[in-house]
Amino acid sequence: MLVVEDEPRIARIIELELRHEGLTVTIAREGQAGMTLALEGDFDLVILDWMLPGYSGLDICRALRKDKRTPIIILTAKDSLGDKVLGLDAGADDYITKPFETEELLARVRAALRRGQSRELIRFADLYMYPEERRALRAGQTLELTAREFDLLHALVRHAEKVLTREAILSQVWGYQFDGETNVVDVYIRYLRLKVDEPFATSLIHTVRGVGYVLRKP
């Protein structure tokens, strides 16, 4: 996990406690380094101090939430209701007010990690899908998909690199047996391409002539 905290004593305490729990910890001591690590790293949990030199914990939280669902705990001396609301609105999952007891920190870390793990993520190239939240992102950008488009992309990504026939897509996405009209699949594939492929430099959805469609890595 990543801990961004500028007070050496507190950073050290958190680091020791989390290591003692068997967790791997990276510490950043100011906002700029924290921002870079948070955005480029692949952490299971990010703990952000609010007041930091460089970017604030809130800045990092907002930037991280643009394309990642990593659980975030905000750590701060601020304890007014307004500040808590601001932190949660910025996308934080939880909030710990300093000074805190070690047991509270660890309990919240465990809870955040459990929540993070229970969230299903399907990842294919730069495409991320969270089926429970019906949320899809490509290259960090949220894709605005209709329910049917989401189901279609979900079916393709579940069978990524395998060709799906129009009939298979119909039965998986529309839920009825093929009865002669598969054009609807082609129509929806066109819609999907406009949102999933066209805005980006590379294409994921490929046509296999006479057979169906396949999701392939660029």
Q: Where do contacts with Ca ion occur on this chain (CB under 5 A)? A: 6, 49, 51
Q: Is 63 exposed, middle or buried (0-12, 13-18, 19+ CB in 10 A)?
A: middle
Q: How far apart are CA 44 and CA 119, in angstroms?
A: 12
CA distances to 113, 117, 148, 162, 191 from 187, in Å? 41, 36, 11, 20, 7
Cβ–Cβ under 8 Å, residues 164 and 156: yes
Residue 96 or 163: which CB sits closer to Ca ion? 96
- Provide the minimum distance between the beta carbon of 101 and Ca ion in the complex, in angstroms, as a whole number: 19
- Provide the minimum distance between the beta carbon of 51 and Ca ion in the complex, in angstroms, as a whole number: 4
Cβ–Cβ under 8 Å, residues 63 and 46: no
- Provide the minimum distance between the beta carbon of 49 and Ca ion in the complex, in angstroms, as a whole number: 4
- Provide the minimum distance between the beta carbon of 13 and Ca ion in the complex, in angstroms, as a whole number: 14
Residue 49 or 94: which CB sits closer to Ca ion? 49
φ/ψ of residue 89, rounded to 5: -65, -30
Residue 6 or 167: which CB sits closer to Ca ion? 6
Residue 74 or 153: which CB sits closer to Ca ion? 74
